[in-house]
Amino acid sequence: MTTPDNPPAKTVADLGEAVRLPTSSVKLAGDNPRKIPQRAIEVVAASLQRFGWQQPLVVDRDHVIIAGHTRLQAAQYLGLKEVPAIIATNLTDEEVRAYRIADNRTHDFTTWDYPELVVQLDSLADEFGDVLALQDWQAIVSDFTNIEDSAVDVPDDIKPHFDPNGGFQVLVVFKSEEAAVAVEQQIMDMPGVIDVRHKR
């Protein structure tokens, strides 16, 4: 029985069946608003090699990518002849464009728990360092909350800063760029340090 305290269950269209398509038959969307750098393709390619296909592409009836542009390019990079895909024939052209954006939009509303991330990356580094792209550690923490933009000669600026993501920032001001660069790696190697970045 449906009551205010027991609303009807919301329905969600079922997952389509994944099929195998020739890689050459799948096309990138020419108007994809998401930019994909070569490094992202290489990292996803490494993931595919290590973990295999765990998520199919989503394409329209003409085999144009709706979701999975990077995975397709990673498959092409690896020279794979076939890719798993779900053909979303139930979506209108407008829904295709909207879902293409929505699929990429969700990460904009999430962030890392940096202390937990560092602990997990440290425990996985030996075996999964390449596939996790640990050499690009700056990219991993690129959305770490920046220290507020303002002149360093304002006393209130040079103070400890509690970060809402769980980290703790301390602004250290050097007299010159050379002095900062000289100790940058030493600071990065200190226990508990998550990120070191330059700011003029």
Instruction: Give yes or no: residues 105 and 22 share one domain.
Output: yes
Distance CA 40, CA 16 (A): 27
Co-location of 65 and 119 in the same domain: no
| 200 found inside a domain | no
Rounded Cα–Cα distance for residues 192 and 189 (Å): 9
- Same domain for 134 and 86: no
Among 52, 82, 109, give the residue marking a domain's end.
Answer: 109
Domain range for 26: 18-109
Distance of CA 57 to the CA centre of its chain: 17
**Amino acid at site 90:** N
Residue 1: inside a domain, yes or no? Answer: no
Number of domains comprising the chain = 2
Same domain, 149 and 91: no
Domain boundary among 76, 94, 109: 109
3-state secondary structure of 77: helix
Considering the domain architecture, whether residues 76 and 127 belong to the same structural domain is answered as: no
CB atoms near residue 144 (< 10 Å): 18
Q: How many CA atoms lie within 13 A of 150 on its CB side?
A: 10
Instruction: Output the pLDDT for position 143.
Output: 45
Pair 28, 92 in one domain: yes
In-domain check, residue 9: no
Burial class (CB in 10 A: 0-12, 13-18, 19+), 16: middle
Residue after which a domain boundary falls, among 109, 125, 159: 109
Q: What is the pLDDT of residue 94?
A: 95
pLDDT (0 to 100) of residue 189: 80
Tell whether 194 is covered by a domain.
no
**Nearest to residue 139, comparing CAs of 37, 71, 8, 64?**
37
Q: Which residues in the chain come in under a pLDDT of 70?
A: 1-4, 137-171, 175, 198-200
For 151-171, what is each residue's pLDDT tens digit? Answer: 333 334 434 444 555 566 666
- The reported pLDDT for the residue numbered 154 is 34
Kindly state whether residues 95 and 48 are assigned to the same domain. yes
Same domain (yes/no): 25, 79: yes
Specify whether the CB–CB gap between 76 and 22 falls below 8 A. no
